[in-house]
């Protein structure tokens, strides 16, 4: 009797939430309790292991600041961000697929004219990104807004290196023209490691996982009467397309950044010839 282990407390904990007024909160807490208890029963952590786990979560919280979101990073490397994203993507065929928001969309992107550059420091190889924003039936969406952000050619976002990059570097808010067209200039993005100088980096190190993401540009596209989409385009041929540290690659989002030798197009875009050019359509679902 004295040495018997009492492990049947799950129902009591679930019942303790029975008076939760919000039915969804009651459901979530009940399910969390059952799954967490099942995990503990299955793995039987020692006290030292549980203290280690609590220490890890504490350190994760302590690593969060206004410009560093270690909990989002943890959700990303565990594949939970992508799972939630995919479960919420109720979109029809032909509509641009979504992918993770990531932790670096934390500042308002500066509004820029179509054709402007978001590369304020001039790193890396020049490229042009252009295309159209369309509704699912192919109708152009004039006035659609594109919020764009990317790391510089060395793989860092402005907020990670405020001493090297001015605020807003690699970011832009663009409004599509009256035919739904957009275009901007930037540098060809590079693959980069997610931040590894915190608890999530230690987790990756301890499990032999690499921290890298394939080269990409982030977008949130929105237009009146349509469901906004949070997505990326990935650079075709980039390393890590097959092993993204945050499981966010979708085939339909991989785009050619084609070598382009066309002096008159280069003049039109205001870049030196030859240049790299990514062209694609963003297709939104009507509400
Ligand atoms: C990003 O692409 O900005 C990102 C996404 C998930 C984790 C870290 C970075
Ligand atoms: Fe990114």
Which atom of ligand 1 is found nearest the CA of 102?
A: 5
Q: How far is the CA of 82 from the centre of ligand 1 (A)?
A: 11
pLDDT score for 2: 45
From ligand 2's centre to the CA of 150, what distance in Å? 6
Asked if residue 120 has pLDDT above 90, the reply is yes
Residue 160 pLDDT more than 70?
A: yes
CB 72 within 8 A of CB 35: no
So where are the chain's domains? 2-77, 90-286
Distance 185 CA to ligand 2 centre (A): 17
Identify the three-state secondary structure at position 279: strand
**Index of the ligand 1 atom closest to the CA of residue 81:** 6
Ramachandran bin of 160, using left for φ above 0, alpha for ψ from -120 to 50, beta for the remaining angles: alpha
Residue 183 β-bridge partners: 130
Q: Taking a C-beta distance cutoff of 8 angstroms, is the pair 99, 246 a contact?
A: no
Give distance in angstroms: CA of 146 to centre of ligand 1. 18
Q: Write the pLDDT tens digit of every residue in 178-214.
A: 999 999 999 999 999 999 999 999 999 999 999 999 9
pLDDT tens sequence across 99-108:
999 888 877 7
What per-residue confidence (pLDDT) applies to 8?
82
Asked whether residue 1 carries a pLDDT value surpassing 70, the answer given is no
Instruction: Give the pLDDT mean for 57-82.
Output: 94
Preceding omega of 154 cis (within 30 degrees of 0):
no
Coil, helix or strand for 148?
Answer: strand
Query: CA-CA distances (angstroms) from residue 197 to 64, 160, 216, 227?
Result: 12, 12, 22, 36
Which comes out higher in pLDDT, residue 88 or 78?
A: 78
pTM: 0.91
Contact at 8 Å (CB) between 190 and 151? yes
Contact (CB, 8 A) for 56 and 199: yes
Q: How far is CA 261 from CA 129, 199, 234, 274, 275, in A?
A: 15, 46, 22, 4, 7
Q: Counting atoms of ligand 1 from 1, which one is nearest the CA of 149?
A: 3
CA atoms in the 13 A half-sphere facing the CB of 226: 28
Phi, psi of 270 (to 5 degrees): 75, 35
Question: For the domain with range 90-286, which CATH number is right: 3.40.50.2020, 2.60.130.10, 3.30.360.10, 3.40.50.970?
Answer: 2.60.130.10
């Amino acid at each position: 009797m004295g040495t018997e282990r009492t492990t049947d407390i799950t129902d009591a904990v679930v019942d303790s939430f029975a008076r939760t007024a919000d039915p969804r909160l009651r459901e979530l807490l009940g399910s969390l309790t059952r799954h967490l208890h099942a995990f503990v029963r299955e793995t039987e952590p020692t006290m030292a292991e549980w203290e280690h786990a609590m220490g890890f979560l504490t350190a994760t919280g302590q690593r969060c600041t206004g410009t560093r979101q270690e909990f989002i990073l943890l959700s990303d490397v565990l594949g939970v961000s992508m799972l939630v994203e995919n479960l919420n993507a109720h979109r029809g065929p032909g509509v641009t697929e979504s992918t993770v928001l990531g932790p670096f969309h934390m500042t308002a992107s500066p509004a820029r004219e179509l054709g402007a550059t978001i590369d304020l420091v001039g790193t890396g190889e020049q490229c042009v990104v252009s295309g159209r924003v369309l509704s699912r039936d192919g109708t152009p969406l004039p006035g659609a807004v594109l919020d764009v952000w990317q790391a510089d050619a060395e793989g860092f976002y402005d907020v990670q290196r405020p001493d090297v990059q001015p605020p807003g570097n690699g970011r832009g808010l663009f409004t599509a023209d009256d035919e739904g067209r957009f275009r901007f200039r930037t540098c060809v993005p590079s693959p980069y490691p997610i931040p590894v100088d915190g608890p999530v980096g230690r987790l990756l190190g301890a499990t032999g996982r690499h921290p890298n993401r394939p080269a990409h540009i982030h977008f949130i596209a929105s237009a009146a009467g349509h469901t906004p989409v949070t997505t990326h385009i990935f650079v075709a041929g980039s390393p890590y397309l097959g092993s993204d540290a945050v499981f966010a690659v979708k085939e339909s989002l991989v785009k050619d950044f084609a070598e382009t030798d066309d002096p008159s197009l280069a003049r039109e875009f205001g870049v030196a010839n030859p240049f790299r050019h990514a062209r694609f359509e963003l297709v939104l679902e009507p509400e």
